[in-house]
Structure 1
Amino acid sequence: MLIRPVGLADVPAMTETLNWAIEHTDVIFRTNPASIAEREDYLRHIWEEDCPCFIAESDSGDYLGWALYHPYRDPQVWTGCYETTIYLSPTAQGKGVGTALLSALIEEARTDKKVHSLLALIVSTNAASLKLHEKFGFENVGTLKEVCYKFDHWLNLAHLQLLV
């Protein structure tokens, strides 16, 4: 598996993964699909913030997923706090891709002088993501109860934190 920086050419695959999650899961609160143009703008914003965005590819070059961190809320207020985001292709789940991507993010954060804390905001029903983050030492620092209604049920949002 190869973990590498994302380029604009990767955005269509990344958008497809995000839209699959929006349509088929409750791991993201969003209900309307994303456009490629919107995601290109978002990626440019991430780069302007000097934040990493990685893509995972199989040894044969097949797209597997993506991950990034970005400032949490207003960076002038939340100094040093960055939020992680990871999305995997449905065919890549349970194969170590999330582990590889989160490992790359944490390694990058530990060398990034502006990062003090990584935050992961995870829907409480997403057991795989909770377990993944806990494996890397993220601690649950609180849960917001019933903050979104999707697919006919209320969702809780767990807040996990890793001091880097």
Structure 2
Amino acid sequence: MNLEKPKFIESLAIRPSEERDLNAIHCIYEIAVLNGTGTFETETPSLDEMARRRAEVLNRKLPWLVAEAGGQVLGYAYANYFRPRLAYRFCLEDSIYLLPQAQGMGLGKLMLAELISRCEQLGARQMLAVIGDADNQGSIGIHRALGFTPTGVLKSAGWKFGRWLDVVMMQRELGLGGQSSPESSPE
């Protein structure tokens, strides 16, 4: 997918994350945990826990990306197995988190497009979006724009900020999808 960078972010780079990005990643996620409903975590994981999560993704040879402009990490995105059992290794779940001031500018869409491309190159066949809060129209819209279709809603699946939250499930085929066995794809 070839999407244009927003004109106001001339120096934007979407690149593989590095260990030096962990503090920024942790800060971005802490903002999401404490203020948003895109994640159902209610307590911020430690920096060491975020490093462990990133290492798990990278050890599976899956992408963990950051978006950087002017030397500042504005957001991150990664894909991981939908569930930990090995049979799910071709079915990935995406996650995208942005600084509040970087939201609504097209950056999430750029990051998701790059994530999809990299996962297709790895031979993944399905990507799922498990979107916390059915009112998260930004995330739903980005996923829809990149070919995800709704597969269901889990009603009142999470309790955060004193209210029940639904989860919107969306799915997109990658590469050949379910049309052939994955043996024809690199793992």
Match of 1:117 among 126, 143, 147: 126
Whether the 8 Å CA contact 1:2–1:57 is kept in 2: the answer is yes
Q: Could you list the per-position Cα deviations for residues 55-85 of structure 1 after superposition, in whole angstroms to 9, with x for gaps in the alignment?
A: 0011x22211000000110342325110000
AA matched with 1:25:
G
Question: 2:109 corresponds to which residue?
Answer: 99
**Partner SS, residue 37 of structure 1:** helix
Question: 1:78 corresponds to which residue?
Answer: 88
Alignment partner of 1:11 is 2:22: yes
Consecutive unaligned residues in structure 1, runs of 5 or more: none
Residues of 2 paired with 1:152 and 1:44: CA distance? 33
Q: Normalized against structure 1, the TM-score is what?
A: 0.95
* Structure 1 residues 32 and 82: CA distance shift in structure 2, 3 A: same
Question: 2:99 corresponds to which residue?
Answer: 89
RMSD: 1.0
AA matched with 1:71:
Y
Instruction: Determine what percentage of the aligned residue pairs are the same residue.
Output: 30
Residues of 1 paired with 2:61 and 2:85: CA distance? 12
Greater than 3 Å deviation, 4+ residue runs? none
Whether the 8 Å CA contact 1:75–1:81 is kept in 2: the answer is no
Whether the 8 Å CA contact 1:22–1:30 is kept in 2: the answer is yes
Q: Could you list the per-position Cα deviations for residues 72-113 of structure 1 after superposition, in whole angstroms to 9, with x for gaps in the alignment?
A: 103423251100000001110111210110010011122112
AA matched with 2:146:
F
Residues of 2 paired with 1:55 and 1:74: CA distance? 24
Residues of 1 paired with 2:84 and 2:55: CA distance? 18
Residues of 2 paired with 1:96 and 1:64: CA distance? 12
Residues of 2 paired with 1:74 and 1:39: CA distance? 17
Alignment partner of 1:146 is 2:153: no
Alignment partner of 1:108 is 2:118: yes
AA matched with 1:14:
I
Whether the 8 Å CA contact 1:66–1:88 is kept in 2: the answer is yes
Alignment partner of 1:47 is 2:58: yes
The residue correspondences of 1:20-35 to structure 2 (distance < 5 A) are 20-35=31-46
The structure having more radius of gyration, on CA atoms, is: 2
Residues of 2 paired with 1:151 and 1:78: CA distance? 32
